């Protein structure tokens, strides 16, 4: 994690809670993302604490898709409110390029990537998703 202080961030707590609820229902993340009108990449960021992707549509679709009873619906609203009130996280505030640098990166033909190619790949990983 980019900053050890982020481990207690309410956005990260929200993302972990939501992930646990999704997994308890046995729904694959990619499928769930489509159900709540997010791309798989956007939803992946939500699960690590980026709540900026959770808008009005998702406010309604997440509880419906996960079939929340009142206690879970209340907890969802509470955790989301806390996450929105805190420092707004972005992918680059959560991860560093060093954390995501491939240990061994190779082309599909098996040839090892050059340092320049690895840097270009990481630049793409850290490029912000379009809103």
Q: Rounded to whole angstroms, how far apart are CA atoms 113 and 63?
A: 43
pLDDT at 73: 97
Percent of the chain with pLDDT over 90: 58
28-56 average pLDDT score: 95
What pTM does this model have?
0.75
Percent of the chain with pLDDT over 70: 91
Task: Decide if pLDDT at 25 tops 60.
Answer: yes
List the domains of the chain with CATH numbers.
Answer: 4-92 (1.10.260.40), 96-125 (no CATH)
31-36 average pLDDT score: 98
56-80 average pLDDT score: 97
pLDDT at 6: 72
Nearest C-alpha neighbor of 35 from the set 61, 54, 15, 72: 61
Q: At what angle do helices 10-24 and 70-85 cross, to 10 degrees?
A: 150
Joined tokens for residue 50: 């980026």
| 8 Å CB contact between 100 and 22 | no
Task: Decide if pLDDT at 89 tops 70.
Answer: yes
pLDDT at 71: 96
84-97 average pLDDT score: 82
Residues whose CB is less than 8 angstroms from the CB of residue 38 and which lie 6 or more positions away in sequence, other chains included:
46, 53, 58
Q: Count the neighbouring beta carbons within 10 Å of the beta carbon of residue 81.
A: 12
């Amino acid at each position: 994690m980019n900053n050890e202080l982020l481990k207690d961030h309410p956005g990260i707590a929200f993302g972990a809670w939501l992930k646990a609820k999704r997994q308890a229902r046995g729904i694959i993340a990619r499928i769930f993302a489509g159900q709540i009108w997010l791309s798989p990449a956007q939803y992946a960021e939500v699960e690590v604490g980026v709540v900026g992707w959770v808008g009005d549509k998702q406010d309604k679709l997440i509880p419906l898709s996960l079939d929340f009873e009142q206690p879970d619906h209340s907890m969802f609203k509470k955790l989301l409110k806390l996450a929105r009130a805190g420092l707004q996280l972005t992918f680059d505030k959560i991860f560093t390029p060093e954390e995501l640098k491939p240990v061994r990166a190779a082309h599909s033909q098996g040839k090892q990537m050059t340092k320049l190619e690895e840097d270009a790949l990481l630049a793409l990983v850290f490029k912000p998703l379009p809103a």
